[in-house]
Chain A
Amino acid sequence: GNSVTQMEGPVTLSEEAFLTINCTYTATGYPSLFWYVQYPGEGLQLLLKATKADDKGSNKGFEATYRKETTSFHLEKGSVQVSDSAVYFCALGYNTDKLIFGTGTRLQVFP
């Protein structure tokens, strides 16, 4: 079946460090891929998305590229801030179907 695998956290970084959170997926066909972010005490917010192979989603300095050959959608940011501390969820979905989430990766950024 379809699934999403994320690297386990927490990921602990100093401010201005480079961030990578790995995400790989197993799916048939051509799903869309998403990164959602959950700040402490808040709900899920869409961070970025990619709807087809080789698409790059980007938002707020975060980027992820849909790599069909490696079935990956790794999240990257060149310079993290304390305010980026949150839980990040990778997810996949089809046209009108549910989203399938990974287990989430907690990011902690220290000044």
Chain B
Amino acid sequence: EPEVTQTPSHQVTQMGQEVILRCVPISNHLYFYWYRQILGQKVEFLVSFYNNEISEKSEIFDDQFSVERPDGSNFTLKIRSTKLEDSAMYFCASRGQGNYGYTFGSGTRLTVV
């Protein structure tokens, strides 16, 4: 079964450093998403991406965040200057047409120290 692959599975970074979280969506999917889950809390939408541009973003997704699909296969989330409160599990998801094809990756746990 096709999978969404995320790397790394766990990243520890110092406050103020830049991090890039990587995702390889399912190859024929068209819509790409990042969500995050702070420990013990609900899963929150960050951003959606379609046709090489952001289609929607949440209030969380401020100027410190950016997304990119640099080569047609990878989908990355960059945090320019990490804060302690960015510590969370970050999930990538992709889907094709229709409203029942979401596939999530297994997540990257980001720890900012």
Complex-state Cα separation, A91 to B37, whole angstroms: 14
Complex-state Cα separation, A44 to B6, whole angstroms: 13
CB distance from B92 to the nearest CB of A (A): 9
CB 8 Å contact bits of B21-52 with A (1 = contact, 0 = none): 00000000001010100000111110010100
CB 8 Å contact bits of B81-98 with A (1 = contact, 0 = none): 000000000010100001
Main secondary structure of the interface of A (DSSP, over half): strand
Q: Is B65 an interface residue (CB 8 A)?
A: no
Closest A-chain residue to B40, C-beta based?
A: A104
Contact indicator A95/B98 (Cβ below 8 Å): yes
Main secondary structure of the interface of B (DSSP, over half): strand
A101-B42, A104-B42 as given contacts; A94 in contact with B99, CB under 8 Å: yes
Cross-chain contact of B45 among A32, A36, A89, A99 (Cβ < 8 A):
A99
Closest B-chain residue to A46, C-beta based?
A: B102
Closest A-chain residue to B97, C-beta based?
A: A96
A93-B99, A96-B31, A98-B56 as given contacts; A44 in contact with B45, CB under 8 Å: no
Cross-chain contact of A99 among B6, B41, B55, B102 (Cβ < 8 A):
B102
Q: Is B75 an interface residue (CB 8 A)?
A: no
Closest B-chain residue to A106, C-beta based?
A: B40
A89-B43, A98-B45, A103-B41 as given contacts; A44 in contact with B99, CB under 8 Å: no
Closest A-chain residue to B105, C-beta based?
A: A43
By a CB distance below 8 angstroms, the chain B residues around A95 are: 98-99
Complex-state Cα separation, A89 to B99, whole angstroms: 17
A101-B43, A103-B42 as given contacts; A43 in contact with B99, CB under 8 Å: no
Q: Which residues of A contact B (CB under 8 A)?
A: 32, 34, 36, 42-46, 49, 51, 89, 91, 93-104
